[in-house]
Amino acid sequence: MRQAIGSWLSGPRAAAEEMGVDFGYRGERLGLPEEGPGSIAPFGRRVAAIFLDWGMCSLIAYGLLAQGRAADVPNWTLLVFTVMVALTVGTVGMTPGKRIFGIRVVHLSGRRLSFPRAVLRTLLIALLLPPLIWDRDSRGLHDRFSGAVQVRA
């Protein structure tokens, strides 16, 4: 009984690993290295980068666009964030937050993500649901639909 409850609490991956299934490391199926530049960016860094980007966009929205109306700040922040992410990822492959935390967004082929794909990825991030659902390689639906992967720079 205790073993059944333990496998239920630890999740299906842990239960499968106990039965001998080898999932490999994150990014192995994509042909990425396990460690170092070009490997899958750690989850904590990606979260920190998006919070930093959101904070910068919030300051811009509050200082330049909301004109003293605090109720308008969230809407302006989302607009500034969407434009900033689309432009920066579509041109240089990283946002300011990703640059600080050493993360790049690239196509699965390893090349720069095209601008239309960057816009699609950004619009999916703005919907919020796709980034919250990810696969075993730590790629959210927004990355899967746009053919992107976030790697260490």
pLDDT tens, residue by residue, 56-78: 999 999 988 878 788 888 999 99
pLDDT at 122 over 60: yes
Residue 125 pLDDT > 60: yes
What sign has the CA pseudo-torsion 25, 31, 33, 37?
negative
Q: pLDDT over 90 for what percent of the chain?
A: 62
**Domain regions of the chain by residue span:** 25-152
- Residue 13 pLDDT grade (very low, low, confident, very high; cuts 50, 70, 90): low
Mean pLDDT on 99-121: 95
CA–CA separation, 32 vs 63, rounded Å? 41
* Mean pLDDT, residues 75-96 taken together: 96
Reply yes or no on whether the pLDDT at 134 is more than 90: no
Check if the beta carbon of residue 126 is closer than 8 Å to that of residue 115.
no
pLDDT at 91 over 70: yes
Q: Check whether 6 has a pLDDT greater than 60.
A: no
CA 28 from chain centre, in angstroms, equals 18
Across residues 103-130, what is the average pLDDT?
93
**Mean pLDDT of all residues in the chain?**
88
* DSSP three-state, residue 133: coil
